[in-house]
């Protein structure tokens, strides 16, 4: 049966009922049912954002899909659960027929991502980090729902308690801002944690890195030893970063930086340190 409601008007509870399968928290399914929150989400894309093709990860019963269809020329939704993928095709058959909606059934970490101009999603929390870091290199505006704690770590500034590997890695790609905290009562089933919407606006970092893959791996390695000085962290994590000669990196690095801990090292300083590691830490620097 084809639904004829205008985009943006569907009731979240009614959509879930029509889907015929409630969310299963064991499968990380927590669906937004507070229509006030859902109505606000598309508006967190900046006015300058290109809305011609919006990607949604994890469509579920289609609550957010409905709102996105009201503002986008085309929406592509990726849904792993076959039951909900089938429901989306039925519920939004008119939009599919009008070539305004594409439903991809599959895992967002495995399927080919479309050439979207923005992404707005209520991400499955268990895979939110992996999905976010698949999206960030696409260089498009993102509005993503995360666990509150994860969101706070993503946006944290150097020196703050929540500043860490996630902060450096996410902010390498984008300006990150929490635009709304969302209580667990806005979801069904209710998760055990609070949530937050994060807007990530792509931009080039203020520094350059010769090897982005190594830079991100190096940051990850150093933060596994965040209570150690940078000097000791470099030496203790060569097996993670892949350095051949950690001592050579320490000898070449800035002495002031070596005496600090990871939480007090800014992204640009990590970039400079990673470049030092590339130049001095490998038997053949071309392999770094």
For the chain, strand residue ranges (E) read: 31-32, 53-57, 74-79, 101-105, 118-122, 142-147, 174-182, 187-188, 195-202
Please state the residue numbers annotated as binding site: 30, 32, 58, 79, 107, 122
Please provide residue 6's backbone torsions phi and psi, each rounded to the nearest 5 degrees.
Answer: -70, 145
State how far the Cα of 264 lies from the Cα of 153, in Å rounded to an integer: 14
Residue listed under structure tokens 């450096």: 168
Q: Cα torsion at 47, 49, 53, 59 (round to 10°)?
A: -70
Please state the residue numbers annotated as binding site for S-adenosyl-L-methionine: 30, 32, 58, 79, 107, 122
Cα 55–Cα 203–Cα 174 angle in degrees, nearest 5 = 65
Cβ proximity of 38 and 63 under 8 Å: yes
State how far the Cα of 165 lies from the Cα of 158, in Å rounded to an integer: 11
Whether the ω angle into residue 249 lies within 30 degrees of 0, i.e. cis, is no
Which DSSP string do the residues of 174-185 spell out, in sequence order? EEEEEEEEE-GG
């Amino acid at each position: 049966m084809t639904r004829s409601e205008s985009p943006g008007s569907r009731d979240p509870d009614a959509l879930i009922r029509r889907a015929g399968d409630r969310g299963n928290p064991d499968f990380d399914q927590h669906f937004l049912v507070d229509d006030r929150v859902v109505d606000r989400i598309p508006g967190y894309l900046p006015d300058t954002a290109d809305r011609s093709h919006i990607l949604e990860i994890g469509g579920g019963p289609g609550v957010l899909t409905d709102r996105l269809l009201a503002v986008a020329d085309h929406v592509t939704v990726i849904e792993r659960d076959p039951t909900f993928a089938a429901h989306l095709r039925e519920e939004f058959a008119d939009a599919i027929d009008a070539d305004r909606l594409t439903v991809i059934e599959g895992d967002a970490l495995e399927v080919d991502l479309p050439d979207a101009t923005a992404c707005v999603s209520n991400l499955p929390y268990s895979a939110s980090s992996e999905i976010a870091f698949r999206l960030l290199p696409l260089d498009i505006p993102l509005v993503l729902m995360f666990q509150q704690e994860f969101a706070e770590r993503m946006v944290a500034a150097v020196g703050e308690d929540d500043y860490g590997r996630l902060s450096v890695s996410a902010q390498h790609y984008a300006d990150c801002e929490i635009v709304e905290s969302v209580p667990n009562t806005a979801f069904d089933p209710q998760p055990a944690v609070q949530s937050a919407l994060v807007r990530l606006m792509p931009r080039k970092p203020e520094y350059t890195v010769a090897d982005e893959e190594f830079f991100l791996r190096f940051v990850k390695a150093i933060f596994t030893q965040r209570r150690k000085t940078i000097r000791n962290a470099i030496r203790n994590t060569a097996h993670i970063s892949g350095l051949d000669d950690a001592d050579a990196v320490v000898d070449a690095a800035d002495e002031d930086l070596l005496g600090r801990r990871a939480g007090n090292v800014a992204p640009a300083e990590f970039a400079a340190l990673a470049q030092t590691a590339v130049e001095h830490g490998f038997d053949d620097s071309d392999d770094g």
